[in-house]
Structure 1
């Protein structure tokens, strides 16, 4: 998962990207480093291989179990942790070790906390099809409050990016639904898990459309492609600008420019001969003399205009940077029970 790229494309989901960065932060400064390391060496039979990921997972699970995280519920954090684990497993982090870690944290939580939240391991992520696309859909549903706030404010700096994201999710749903759930066999047997997830997304999306009437006109239909112009956001979609279209008149001219120039050069040679060596040339020169003063004046004015407009040629927009910070949370109960 390219968090840096996603931060740039979807900066309004900053809390999620911060959470993933926290998940992936190396365990070095935590007060419980010794306890994490001790437990992971036991799980790994004293080996160093996978020690870093084991300690990360142990810490992340405990923080979800006992420590609040602003703006994101325990359920959502558990879902995102399983998503993060999917990428660790792709890098050969063994499933049996993951199961041991989840079981250990669960036992510690029940022994030391009155009402612990237990995050369960979801191995189904191993079988997910296009997990990043599904993550985009789930992020939309999980963060609808943020989406609504941004879409209601046309002056919000992320307004256009947010509209683009919502339309992108509509396209993702339609494409995946058509690709994997178009017939009964695929829908109920071959891709039944994926199709159930898409169906769940569709139901929640419809519910949200009713729940947020103020932005209903900015939520694209899931049933058919909606290529409506996104208000105020044309500059973000360069593909929509007509002069970039391969079939536009602008590009047609430039494709034929060599032929046009070649024809003009041939014509210029003939005119030069007529002007220099025939009576017609004398007539042309006499008429041109009368307009020389006017031409000189026009030339000066055009030069002045050119120099004054040059300053606008190199204007550009500054790139925006989005920074994330981590705020560690400590818990003495874990230090007491981990050993």
Structure 2
């Protein structure tokens, strides 16, 4: 049975306490796991540690922390500590993010993201064994240290976000799960093949990997408002967050549409970009409308073969009240 997770809207909450309240509500509503993003607002580590104190059963994880702003060893320490603070409920989700965030916010060079992600996963997993870490890579060389505290038992899984074929293949070879973001219902199929190929190359069983698919959701009695919010959210990512999401959509058979949305957004013709999403893409990438309609659309994503969990994410423009209404309407 496909699990139903929730991607918490960190940026939409006025306080850390309000954010944690959302996680508490998600547990009460029966969601399997709450994922915490980290971009340029609140850090995910503090939010998860605080949430761990106020929840008992819901799984908690990062989706995602980037592999540039923390060293791999520190990510390993963080994962070990959060596994302890959550009593074994933690999953670490990592990813490269993109040059806009890494270079303009963190002030670091966005160089060789695939290699850096692979080495980060390797090192984190070594750290989590509690054994001395010996690593000689292209990005990192480590020697002579081990965790000063006891290694977590069990070690938390290490998931990774990836978009392109080679990146997804890398996840299949080295990570414990894949976070699929910005995919259409049809377009994820080819990447699932890449994941399986990577698992085979790594001598692993792809069925042991957790595939988590992100779906933008809004369930309101005001059907038009719900559809507008989800379409605006999708258009923002395709048009306003660099070229990665545009290119990812193009690879899924939407080359002309992806470029038209991107160009419209860049030229400040954002209403046109949103209209394009609403007319040609929204139902392939999101679940929106009345509570009944949104539930039916979300269930279509949950029937995709080899997807183990779907997490509902909320539009950037949704108010805290609309987020709560959606979370309640789409509860498992």
What range describes the TM-score normalised by the shorter chain of this pair? under 0.3
TM-score (normalised: structure 2) = 0.22
Q: Which has the higher strand share?
A: 2
TM-score (normalised: structure 1) = 0.21
Question: Which protein is bigger by CA-based radius of gyration?
Answer: 1
Determine which structure has greater relative contact order: mean sequence separation of CA pairs < 8 Å that are 6+ residues apart, divided by chain length.
1
